Amino acid sequence: MHIPDGYLSPSTCAVMYAGAAPFWYMALQRVKKTFNARLIPLISLFSALSFVIMMFNVPLPGGTTGHAVGMGILTVVLGPWASILAISVALAIQAIFFGDGGITCYGANCFNMAIVGSLVSYLVYRTISGQAALTSPRRIVAAALAGYIAINVSAFCAGTELGIQPALFHDTNGAPLYAPYPLSISIPAMVLGHLSFAGIAELVIAGALVAYLQRTDPSLLRATAPGVAETEALPLEPANIWMRTRGLWLILAVMMVATPLGLLAAGSAWGEWSPDDFKDPDVRSQIATASQGVVPPAQAPSGLEKLSSIWTAPMPDYTPTFIKSPQLGYILSAVFGTGLIILIILFIGWVAGLVSRLRPKSNA
């Protein structure tokens, strides 16, 4: 679901950045009011968790691959606005350092996964969970369905953005300039894979982690349960939040070590082919199989090829060039990305705190 550079026209990218910007601004305004010693560790933890979750590729029908995002569990614990920021940070690290998602398409990827994913997750979760107790099995079901529905809506958005490109942007001969397949192919290709395997992965992650938190620390579920009595879960003390979440940090560490499992799924994600893939007979056959038998252009569309080289990630595909073992490179990429996310969130927290202290206080 990470749209690479070249698959969306510059004007589409600009529209998607413009569409994402108000949500980023609103999220910052909402979160900065509570961006304190309690929330900073949680955003760091769950942003890193989303980053690592997205490294686990699963096989999809047609020989392609996909992944969960963690949008369900992030929204349940952080609320939709903090979730938007947390996933956006993870997507930025992926795009800049690992080439997973394009720089030009960053606005679109954030809109699809961080913004739409978080808001849909919140709507579904609050609707299904209602006023149920924090430890109610109903909240496990609500979280699971929230993640499942949200990732499929996100996939639909990505498929739509890719599918409108051939109709809107083509040369004088009608040849696509960017993404080559129309809506009739792009939407089924994106949605069917997420309705099945990737969506199930999102469902299991959200449901399992909510069940885990119900047993270990239900207070972490309070952010999206405003109608639940305060006596059900006392708020965490800021000084204890790092220690109180040590079980989740351990889960994150285990997942980082296990990330090479994401390499077992063969094939590229649909709509994430490199320009060279259009010239490779084997890959062309795989693309056609995943695209209702419609063969791709003989070579990459001109606009796609031009924009695809706009940014070269230092560690493309999570494989540092100085590491010979792909498995070890994958683990080190997970560790590096996680560490960078934590540092960025801590820095943002420090800046927010500094601004708050410097702001003149009202005499009223």
| pLDDT, tens digit, 9 for 90 and up, residues 161-171 | 999 999 999 99
pLDDT of residue 288: 95
pTM: 0.94
Judge whether residue 44 has pLDDT over 80: yes
Least confident of 73-87, 176-190, 283-297, 341-355: 341-355
Q: What is the pLDDT of residues 184-221, one digit of tens each?
A: 999 999 999 899 899 999 999 999 999 999 999 999 99
Helices assigned H by DSSP within the chain: 10-32, 39-53, 71-78, 80-98, 106-109, 117-129, 137-163, 165-168, 183-193, 199-216, 241-244, 246-258, 281-289, 302-308, 326-358
Q: What is the pLDDT of residues 274-319, one digit of tens each?
A: 999 999 999 999 999 999 999 999 999 999 999 999 999 999 999 8
pLDDT of residue 244: 83
Provide the percentage of residues in the chain whose pLDDT is more than 70: 93
Q: How confident is the model at residue 232 (pLDDT cuts 50, 70, 90)?
A: very low
pLDDT of residue 230: 52
Q: How confident is the model at residue 234 (pLDDT cuts 50, 70, 90)?
A: very low
Phi-psi region of 257 (alpha: psi -120 to 50; beta: other; left: phi over 0): alpha
Q: What is the phi/psi pair of residue 235, to 5°? A: -65, 150
Q: Which domains occur in the chain, in start order?
A: 10-358 (1.10.1760.20)
Going by the DSSP 8-state scheme, the letter that residue 114 receives in this structure is I
**What is the pairing mode between strands 65-66 and 58-59?**
antiparallel
How far apart CA 64 and CA 271 sit, in angstroms, is 10
Judge whether residue 332 has pLDDT over 90: yes
Size (the chain), residues: 364
